[in-house]
Structure 1
Amino acid sequence: MSDLHNFGWYAAQLKKHLPKEVFKPAPFRLFGGLAYLLVVVGCFLVIGLFDLHPLVNLLLSIPIGLSFAALGFLGHEILHGTVIRKGWIRNLLGAIAFWPLSTSPQIWRKWHNATHHVHTQQDEHDPDSWPTLERISKTKLFRWIYKLPFFVRAFTSFASLTVQFTAHSIKMFLVYIKSFNLKKQPTVFVQAVLPWITWISLLFVMGFEKWFFAFLLPLLIANFVVMAYISTNHRLNPLVPVNDPLANSLTVTVPKWVDVLHFNFSYHTEHHIFPSMSSKHYPLVKKHIKNLWPDRYHEMPMGQALKALWKTPRVYFEHNDLVDPLKGKAFGSLGNGLDTRDIKSKKIKLPTISKQD
């Protein structure tokens, strides 16, 4: 990995080819967020005020859940400062966008902006990276999980996408709340708890059945949509000693209309090079990356990436390999022998979990 470069190096090379306008904030993105808010409020009112057939409520849950997810994508962009630069407005709008996912804007900025982006795919420093065999072998729960048959693990992993963002967000709150000074901790606490108070209060107003269709099921849908992207962002890439976006990140491709609805969230390598640039400009950045470093850039259709995630384990061995501890099988990572169109494993000798019990 001697040819790795950090994201600042790539940014410096790419800036020579980009107009200055692309680095300006894009406040018009907020109109998309307003549209999603209107969809959510409208569907809430229909479900809450009318006694509809459960099938109709089920159909209404889908646009609510998709709107929750899209608001999360917009919140991500807002809190990177690409929509509005003024701090308090940025945090307020970010809190509103992340309200359905119940994520504190200041926790998000600490966890995502200041830690994940700085230490992407760096073992033990990136809060979003998956563990190494050495790390999980020290944890009883993970030792038990990785003794389960691979199919069971793969199915459970995909099913858990419906709750992973919410669960990880709660975990990050518990991890990072202590990093704020004592004067700021109450504000951060309120930011994290107030959305949950809102949604639990809605339960008592609507009753469980309507609340299930208005919030709980949409939350599961939103989690799955958001995590379908997040799980492909880095989980097929190697762990790296240098925060190199071309090595540690993957851009997935989706239909153009999906990119419009999801604020270009699919352009993830581009985002890690220019996190403070509005994602509306990422197609241009992608064009120049592919011109400058065509052999190092990773992209594939979303469906292909998800299929590869299903077929490969999520435990790292020696940074470049993904291993199944139960069978002693290793799969390469992107840039290190993994062909997502023809996934093959190799048998290797490693310290299996069972031997360490």
Structure 2
Amino acid sequence: MNVVERETWITQAEYAKKLRSSLPPEAFLPDPSKTWILLINIAILILGWGVANHLDRWHWYLLWLYLPLSIVMGNSVIVLLFSTHDLLHSRTIKNPQLRQILSLLGLTLLWTPPTFWKAVHNREHHNKTNSLQDPDRNYLYEQPNNWGKWIQDTFVPSAEVHPLGLTIGMAHAWGVHTFRNLSSVLLFNHGRTEYPPAAFTVSTKERKAIAIEFLIILGIHVGILFYLGFHPVKLLLSYFLPIWIGYSGILFYVYTNHMLCRMTSINDPLINSVSIQVPPIFDTLHLNFSYHTEHHIFPGINSDYYPVVQGLLKTHYPDRFNLLDAGEAWRLMLRTPRHYKDENTFTDWNGEKSITCPLSSGSRESGARN
């Protein structure tokens, strides 16, 4: 099919209005199990640090036995983001103080104050998805060449990225993403900062809360380091390695959510978002985060019902819905540049390439979920 023209764009609200009546009422009820998932994964991390505190008593040739726990802890970092993400989109916990405490604990290893997350993700990203005002979009080629843009060019999957740069980026780019937006609102907060893709502002009350929450997060991290005695082996296996694994897993999803899509001035989730197909075990572990278009239509829905929403999208919008196998999505990321030349064209750092968005020609569905 031809590129979807602006006249045919459909807003998030219109999709939600059309599909909501086909969903069961329980899909919109609070789900306390997600809170338990958050608490269980906090407990896994605490247990991992408790075991790691005794690593200095292990013989060096037995240290590899800790690696499975490092992997499990890394997955817990992923689950903490996704479960807290669901918590802050829902009304599962009505007590604001308890909600804030749990979300702070859930986002601590992500260095992300929950008040900041609600601003950058819930308010800015969801309402302005892949538009010029979205802080999560690709940089424009015409934007100034600064450190933020250089980092994306050097470490984000693209046709130009070096494998070493991509490897380093997978483990660290989440921190860069948080730092550039967090520093923009804490240090400046005037909406004109040039190093994020799109700067935004927060209220004075939010800015104060973000600063306090960040200091608490910093204190927790310092506390973990002290608990582990700044021991290099303990830190590598139980602090840095789980964080690197967790960030890499998160970014695999984040990169494929929107960065392959066109920019849209109207928030049309079927045009500016992608859902990917992953093995069922990952949907179980990661709260169906692969159903990302579905999430953008119904941000507050119980994620257990995303597959139902996907079935409705396949029925009502088969030619608009971007559904990709995870491997295909990653290959497309590595075959295309990462800067926008215009809303439908990607280009490289030098502006020498002009690659039409690969998702402009309609549905890319490849196979069905089991």
Q: What is the TM-score normalised by the length of structure 1? A: 0.87
**1:88 aligned to 93, 97, 103, which one?**
97
Name 1:105's counterpart in structure 2. 114
Name 1:21's counterpart in structure 2. 26
Counterpart amino acid of residue 318 in structure 1: D
Q: CA contact under 8 A between 1:61 and 1:217: conserved in structure 2? A: yes
Counterpart amino acid of residue 140 in structure 2: T
**1:194 aligned to 216, 222, 235, which one?**
216
Q: Distance in 2 between matches of 1:157 and 1:224?
A: 10
**1:134 aligned to 109, 133, 142, which one?**
142
Deviations 1:141-185 (A, max 9, x none): 557986999544565245302111122112222223444444554
Q: Distance in 2 between matches of 1:27 and 1:62?
A: 26
Counterpart amino acid of residue 138 in structure 2: W
Q: CA contact under 8 A between 1:83 and 1:278: conserved in structure 2? A: no
Matched, 1:45 2:54: no
Q: What is the TM-score normalised by the length of structure 2? A: 0.84
**1:61 aligned to 39, 57, 70, which one?**
70
Matched, 1:210 2:234: yes
Name 1:72's counterpart in structure 2. 81
1:261–1:35 Cα change, 3 Å: same
Q: CA contact under 8 A between 1:331 and 1:338: conserved in structure 2? A: no
Counterpart amino acid of residue 342 in structure 2: E
Structure 1 residues 318-327 or 298-307, which shifts more? 318-327
SS of residue in 2 equivalent to 1:322: strand
Unaligned regions of 5+ residues in structure 2, if any?
A: 190-200, 366-370
Q: Distance in 1 between matches of 2:26 and 2:273?
A: 25
Structure 1 residues 155-164 or 290-299, which shifts more? 155-164
Counterpart amino acid of residue 306 in structure 2: Y
Counterpart amino acid of residue 312 in structure 2: H
SS of residue in 2 equivalent to 1:5: coil
How many Å apart are 1:337 and its aligned residue? 4.2
Q: Distance in 2 between matches of 1:278 and 1:9?
A: 20
Give the alignment's Cα RMSD to 1 decimal: 2.6
Matched, 1:279 2:287: no
Q: Distance in 1 between matches of 2:274 and 2:159?
A: 24
SS of residue in 2 equivalent to 1:117: helix
SS of residue in 2 equivalent to 1:300: strand
Deviations 1:241-291 (A, max 9, x none): 111000000001111121110011111000100111121111111111110
Unaligned regions of 5+ residues in structure 1, if any?
A: 342-357
Q: CA contact under 8 A between 1:313 and 1:324: conserved in structure 2? A: yes
SS of residue in 2 equivalent to 1:163: helix
SS of residue in 2 equivalent to 1:126: coil
How is 1:1-357 mapped onto 2 (pairs within 5 angstroms)? 1=5, 2-50=7-55, 51-52=57-58, 53-123=62-132, 125-135=133-143, 138-139=144-145, 141=147, 142=149, 151-153=160-162, 155-177=164-186, 178=189, 179-206=201-228, 207-326=231-350, 328-337=352-361
Q: Distance in 2 between matches of 1:147 and 1:87?
A: 40
1:65–1:339 Cα change, 3 Å: same
1:336–1:184 Cα change, 3 Å: closer
Q: Distance in 1 between matches of 2:150 and 2:126?
A: 29
Name 1:354's counterpart in structure 2. none
Deviations 1:12-61 (A, max 9, x none): 00012112221111112222223222321222111112433332233321
Counterpart amino acid of residue 98 in structure 1: L
1:270–1:82 Cα change, 3 Å: farther
Q: Distance in 1 between matches of 2:305 and 2:321?
A: 18
How many Å apart are 1:192 and its aligned residue? 1.5
1:259–1:339 Cα change, 3 Å: closer
Structure 1 residues 110-119 or 179-188, which shifts more? 179-188
Q: Distance in 2 between matches of 1:318 and 1:48?
A: 52
> How many aligned residue pairs are there?
339
The percent identity for this pair of structures is: 27
How many Å apart are 1:326 and its aligned residue? 4.2
Structure 1 residues 78-87 or 281-290, which shifts more? 78-87
SS of residue in 1 equivalent to 2:320: coil
Counterpart amino acid of residue 126 in structure 1: D
Q: Distance in 1 between matches of 2:152 and 2:111?
A: 28
Q: CA contact under 8 A between 2:27 and 2:301: conserved in structure 1? A: yes
Q: Distance in 2 between matches of 1:319 and 1:164?
A: 24
How many Å apart are 1:130 and its aligned residue? 0.6
